[in-house]
Structure 1
Amino acid sequence: MNPVENRIISKLSDTFKPAHLEVLNESYMHSVPPGSETHFKVVLAADSFVGKRQVQRHQAIYACLADELKSGVHALALHTFSPDEWASSGAVPASSNCMGGSKHDHS
């Protein structure tokens, strides 16, 4: 059905055993063909993020998804939390539409 999205969910679930996980395919918001799986938003709360800075959390996700990033995934919007941070916040900013490529007028 959505092989890339399913692989991302599986890998993140297996690696991080998340308290909360959302993987949203946001490719439709970008200048890509319909049905593409190139742009994703990931919301992940995991015990392994306790005491880690955002950059360390992001690096861990990039390492987990290295194969996907090499083979077609163009962008990840990462929102990472410890379980306590997620419980007290639970809020993720809405993604904006792409302004790059053919959707942006440079004149």
Structure 2
Amino acid sequence: MTADDLRNLIASGLPCEHLQVEGDGRHWSALIVSAEFEGKRPIQRHQRVYASLGGKMETDEVHALSMTTLTPAEWAARRGE
């Protein structure tokens, strides 16, 4: 699994305004900005991302994924817009 592979998996299952993925092939971190996160608690947002990965977490193709999940408004606020 490469960063591009993981980015493509997430993007194919979740419309993202911004998506940044970094990692070493087993341990990943992702910054994911999606309007689908509006009104959802952090655990619901993470579940939505896991759903976009299909079974990749269960089969250990993605061993660990640390996520920052933001709405477009939260992302804009973080950037000072």
TM-score of the superposed pair, with normalisation by structure 2: 0.84
Contact 1:58 1:80 in 2 (8 A): yes
- The partner residue of 2:44 within 53, 56, 63 is 56
Partner of 2:34: 46
- Name structure 1 gaps, 5 residues minimum: 28-36, 91-107
Higher strand share: 2
Superposed CA RMSD? 1.5
Q: Point out 4+ residue stretches in structure 1 off by more than 3 angstroms.
A: none
Aligned sequence identity (%): 31
Deviation string 1:52-76 (CA, Å, 9 cap, x unpaired) is: 1100000111122243212332111
Give runs of aligned pairs for residues 1-107 of structure 1, distance below 5 A.
3-25=1-23, 27=24, 37-69=25-57, 70-90=59-79
Structure 2 contact 19–33 (Cα < 8 Å) conserved: yes
Work out which of the two has the higher radius of gyration on C-alpha atoms and give 1 or 2: 1
AA at the equivalent of 1:51: G
- Which blocks of at least 5 consecutive residues in structure 2 are unaligned? none
SS of the equivalent of 1:23 reads: strand
CA distance in 2, matches of 1:66, 1:14: 11
Deviations, residues 34-61 of structure 1 (Å, cap 9, x unaligned): xxx1000010010100111100000111
Aligned residues: 78
Higher relative contact order (CA 8 A, sep 6+): 2
